[in-house]
């Protein structure tokens, strides 16, 4: 169905699109298009809860890795090593009010109403990101972002991501006392093993990772969220 082509397929990309759509619906534009307060209030509530859903997912992934790392440190850490802090699940932001299921079904209904308005123009559609081909091109180049997961496997760090239509990722890392990220590798497979030994033998080492997608020789989209994995040494 053509009406949904403008929606990106990935959750993170949909979050970016939804926030742009809401923010670009200014008071003047809402009046011009004949949208009701009920409709715009509903859109605001849907955007808040969907954005919070994404935060929950990322926080849960991070917490899982922290718990596994903590368990390994407790189980395998050397006698007398510094005490490792117990992981605590932390989610940024205030919990939004609950909404009914079917967020994007409601969004598509609102988009249909906007496009049917006598005041609708292609310029408005471009600003709101509801013109299929243009939104699809934007999501493929400007808004895509890798979602990394990481865990320790047999003493190495295993990094996973979903490649999609991109050629791979540029993976950067920092560890120990390093203050900036540096290139670790350019990867065209969905799984990567960081087999570097720890800087200090026998001591746990915190490693941070981030990445960009690349297509050909060019980086595309946005930098990923930083993930942290601790290697026990």
Mean pLDDT rounded to a whole number for the chain: 87
Q: How many percent of the chain have pLDDT more than 70?
A: 92
Tell me, what's the pLDDT at 189?
A: 92
Give CA–CA dist 57/75, Å, rounded: 27
Distance CA 66, CA 79 (A): 21
- Please state, in angstroms and rounded to a whole number, the distance separating the CA atoms of residues 150 and 169: 15
Q: What is the pTM of this model?
A: 0.55
At 211, the pLDDT band (50, 70, 90 cuts) reads very high
Give residue-wise pLDDT tens across range 162-208.
988 889 999 999 998 888 899 999 999 999 999 999 998 888 999 99
For residue 87, what are the contacts with CB-CB under 8 A and spacing of at least 6?
63, 66, 67, 69, 70
Distance (Å) of CA 231 to CA 69, 157, 196, 208: 7, 7, 10, 11
Residues 14, 118 contacting (CB under 8 angstroms): no
Closest of 63, 180, 42 to residue 106, by C-alpha: 42
CA 43 to CA 35: how far, in whole Å? 11
């Amino acid at each position: 169905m053509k009406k949904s082509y403008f929606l990106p397929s990935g959750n993170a990309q949909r979050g970016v699109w939804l926030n742009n759509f809401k923010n670009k619906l200014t008071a003047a534009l809402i009046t011009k298009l004949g949208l009701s307060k009920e409709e715009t209030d509903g859109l605001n509530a849907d955007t808040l809860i969907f954005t919070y859903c994404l935060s929950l997912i990322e926080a849960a992934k991070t917490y899982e890795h922290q718990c596994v790392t903590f368990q390994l440190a407790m189980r395998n850490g050397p006698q007398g090593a510094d005490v490792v802090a117990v992981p605590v699940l932390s989610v940024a932001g205030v919990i939004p009010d609950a909404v009914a299921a079917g967020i994007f079904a409601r969004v598509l209904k609102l988009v249909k109403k906007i496009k049917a308005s006598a005041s609708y123009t292609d310029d408005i559609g471009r600003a709101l990101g509801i013109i299929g081909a243009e939104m699809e091109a934007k999501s493929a180049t400007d808004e895509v972002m890798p979602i990394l997961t990481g865990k320790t496997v047999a003493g190495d760090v295993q990094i996973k991501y979903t490649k999609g239509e991109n050629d791979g990722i540029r993976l950067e890392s920092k560890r120990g006392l390093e203050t900036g990220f540096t290139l670790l590798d350019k990867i065209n497979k969905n799984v990567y093993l960081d087999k570097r030994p720890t800087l200090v033998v026998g001591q746990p080492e915190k490693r941070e990772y981030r990445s960009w997608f690349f297509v050909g020789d060019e980086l595309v989209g946005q930098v990923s969220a930083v993930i942290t994995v601790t290697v026990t040494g």
